[in-house]
Structure 1
Amino acid sequence: MLTLVTYPPAFGQPSGSPFCVKALYLLNLSGLPWQRKDTADPRNWPKGKLPALWVDDEIIGDSDNIRTWLEERGAHFDAGLSDLDRATSRAFIRMAEEHMYFHIVLDRWADKAVWPIVRDTYFATIPAFLRKFISRGIRRMLLRGMDAQGLGRLTAGERLERIEPDLQAITDRLWHGPFLFGAQPSAADASVAAMLGAMASTPGGTALSRRVSQDVMLVDYMRRVQAALG
């Protein structure tokens, strides 16, 4: 039996991490039987990150590696897609995971009104009297990284302007079918819908969470993906 090691559910999503949600969607799309194991502590898993797939004595870390492992065993996540659509799918996945994701990070970790809710959710297993002290250093390190990356130097309004073309690109694709590449969900849906779900569910009613959660087309799309793969 395959075991997906993942962060617990949070903010109404199957996991607090969109990458864990992506892995969950891919496993369901693969058709293979699997079970989940929740943990809030990633330190003992590959690269100190989650998700991880535990298979007998083998552990596959990272959602991309999990996808590759499943494909090597017969999963067809992009069945029926043309070469052009496969290339576009990869671009959408990279847009979601290398750009959209960091907007989620800043929405949750940088906003002073949102951070206490996120802190008490992500670090719930740490006693309250230690939680602020331990999480403060992690948050400071993360925000320094986002500043070095560049997105952390933008205001919330500037970030919203920056991500709007990404959201519009997703909407443009959805005018052509219920999923990004036709009538059936594919690997791109697993990534993109997971990121949108994380955006919409961020607590505190940020500008980005309102933008996504009030977009009827995006909300209907997320519901379709969750119904098909969740």
Structure 2
Amino acid sequence: MLTLLTFPAAFGQFSASPFCVKTAYMLQLSGQSWQRSDMLNPSKMPHQKLPVLRTSQRLVADSDLIRDWLETQGANFDADLSDIQKAQSRALIRMAEEHIYNHVVLDRWGNDEVWPILRDMFFTEVPALIRRPVTHAIRKSVMKRMDGAGVSRFSDTERTDRLERDLEAISAFLWQSPFLFGESPTAADMSVGPVLAAMRATPKETQLTRRIKTDTLLNSYLDRLEQAIPL
């Protein structure tokens, strides 16, 4: 049986990481038998990140590489898509994972109201005596990455404007069908959906959580996706 090494459930989600949720969705639709194994510290994993899929032969790291592996085993997440739709799917996935996701990270790690919740939930393995200085250093590293990506350099208004254009692009697809490319979820839904769901699930009300929660179209889409692929 396949084993998905994943960050634990959090904030009402299968996992705090949308990439772990994405992989769980793919496993559900692949027809493979699988189980989850939670961990908080992926430092001994390939790439030092999660998700990782344990197969009978090896560890497969990274959600995209896990998708590739599942497709070599017979899964086809975009079976009914045209070549143009597959290209659009690729663009939507990259937009969600390389841009929108950074806004989610900043909303959680850069927000002084949200950060203590994350710290106390995800760093329980760090001894209490040194937890604050250790987690402060980790938070500083994450924020440096956000600065390098450019996200934290924008004003709140600039960030909102940039993000709004992405959300409008996603909504344009959803005005036409229940899911991004038709009546059933495809690979794009399994990436875009978890990132938006993570934005909605941030454990304090922020500008981003309000943006998703007050959008009937996006809210109903996320609910539909969770119902279509129960985890």
Shared fold (TM-score, shorter chain, > 0.5): yes
Comparing 144-153 and 123-132, the one that deviates more = 123-132
Q: CA shift at 1:197, angstroms?
A: 0.5
Which residue number corresponds to residue 68 of structure 2? 68
Which residue number corresponds to residue 189 of structure 2? 189
Cα deviation, 1:137-195, whole Å, max 9, x if unaligned, reads 01111111211221111133321221001111111100111000000110000000000
TM-score (norm 2): 0.97
Q: CA shift at 1:90, angstroms?
A: 0.4
Q: Take 2:177 and 2:61, find their aligned partners in 1: how far apart are those partners? A: 32
Instruction: Give the aligned residue type for 1:139.
Output: R
Cα deviation, 1:20-49, whole Å, max 9, x if unaligned, reads 000011111112111000001111111100
SS of alignment partner, residue 60 of structure 2: strand
**Structure 2: 5+ residue runs without aligned partners?**
none
Counterpart mapping for 1:1-230 below 5 A: 1-230=1-230
Q: Identity, % of aligned pairs?
A: 51
Q: CA shift at 1:134, angstroms?
A: 1.0
TM-score (norm 1): 0.97
Q: Take 2:177 and 2:105, find their aligned partners in 1: how far apart are those partners? A: 30
The runs of at least 4 aligned residues of structure 1 exceeding 2 Å deviation read 124-130, 155-158
Q: Take 2:3 and 2:45, find their aligned partners in 1: how far apart are those partners? A: 13
CA RMSD of aligned residues (A): 1.0
Size of the aligned set, in residue pairs, is 230
Q: Take 2:229 and 2:17, find their aligned partners in 1: how far apart are those partners? A: 16
SS of alignment partner, residue 132 of structure 1: helix
SS of alignment partner, residue 10 of structure 1: coil
Q: Take 1:84 and 1:93, find their aligned partners in 2: how far apart are those partners? A: 14
Q: Take 2:163 and 2:34, find their aligned partners in 1: how far apart are those partners? A: 34
Q: CA shift at 1:18, angstroms?
A: 0.6
Q: CA shift at 1:119, angstroms?
A: 1.4
Q: Take 1:225 and 1:128, find their aligned partners in 2: how far apart are those partners? A: 39
Instruction: Give the aligned residue type for 2:92.
Output: F
Q: Take 1:124 and 1:12, find their aligned partners in 2: how far apart are those partners? A: 19
